[in-house]
Amino acid sequence: MPIYEFECSGCNERYEHLQRADEKPVCPKCGSLSSEKVFSTFSKGASSNLPSCEGSVPSCAPSKCGSGMCGMNMG
């Protein structure tokens, strides 16, 4: 079963949900069944081949870099 990221249409809560094909996710904050799948940021898991800046580069400090990929040349 894949893990998807959702955003609740009722309260705008973002959450992850391990979803089966026939099931609707329930918002953990308000209990609504009206959520939409959203694009997730990359995981820092072992399967990721992308570099992570982790604040080690001054221009890539966490306060400037929410996803850990700012200022990096991906080409």
- Statement: residue 28 has pLDDT above 80: yes
Closest CA to 21 of 41, 51, 1: 1
Write out pLDDT tens, residues 30-41: 999 999 999 877
Domain ranges of the chain: 1-40
- pLDDT for res 19: 84
Residue 31 CA to residue 70 CA, distance in Å, equals: 34
Judge whether residue 56 has pLDDT over 60: no
Residue 43 has pLDDT above 80, yes or no: no
pTM of the model: 0.51
Q: Which fold has domain 1-40?
A: Rubrerythrin, domain 2 (2.20.28)
